[in-house]
Amino acid sequence: MLIRADLHVHSTYSDGKASPQEILYIAREKGLHVVAITDHDTFTGSIVASKYRSKTQDLPLVIIGVEVRCIEGDILLYCEREINFPRRINALLEKAHSENCLVVPAHPYDITRLGIGDLIFEYNDWDAIEVWNASATRRANIKAIKAAQILGKPSLASSDAHIPDEIGSAYTYIEVDDLSLISVIEAIRKGRVKPIYRSRPLNTTFKRIFWSFERAVRGFTWRV
């Protein structure tokens, strides 16, 4: 069974514009089967979405996720449930794997958003690498693709959506046995994935810039 997944989306529980519930409906409209809400330093958005989805039919499967701001840079976690997470990569890898979570460097070569850069080669325990981020530069993404090839790790493509228009702008095909959280996590771990390299349209880029400006004017703070 081949499914489409956007594995890096932000909601109102960090710096996204859409609520977790809105994200699910938009993801469905865009033909996604799976979405990971990965708010900064909190699982709350994904948990809210997962609970809502359990009561509503025909919405995409929700991966319990978070984007952790580590000392070294940003790391994505995909889990079966919420866990406590350390802020150093070594400790995070150990803790996450003990809880059967996937650990994935986010936009590793995007220096404007705290990618870990060449530190990616200092660790061999990554479960996959986000090689294409629709919000990153092409140059940064190509360097991430090469890093994944060198390390022999599965490659993921995601939107890093902060506004509704961005959801699904890049995505990953995943071959799963069934549409379940455990099946998706295992398929990623085993490399049954195909990233689709797409960038967000220019008009969407402008909308993202306006949203960033609006957040700054509001004195935006994350909801945790």
In this structure, what CATH number is given to the domain that contains residue 173?
3.20.20.140
Looking at residue 77, its pLDDT comes to: 98
Compare 210 and 128 and report the one with higher pLDDT: 128
pTM score of the predicted model: 0.92
* CA–CA separation, 205 and 81 (whole Å): 33
What band does 224 get if pLDDT is binned at 50, 70 and 90? very low
Is the residue at 224 inside a domain? no
Looking at residue 57, its pLDDT comes to: 80
What band does 74 get if pLDDT is binned at 50, 70 and 90? very high
Is the residue at 223 inside a domain? no
pLDDT in tens, 87-127: 999 999 999 999 999 999 999 999 888 999 999 999 999 99
* CA–CA separation, 161 and 166 (whole Å): 5
pLDDT at 67 over 80: yes
Backbone dihedral region of 141: left (phi > 0), alpha (psi from -120 to 50 degrees) or beta? alpha
Is the residue at 114 inside a domain? yes
For residue 110, the enclosing domain spans 2-218
Backbone angles phi, psi at 78, to 5 degrees: -125, 120
Specify the number of domains making up the chain.
Answer: 1
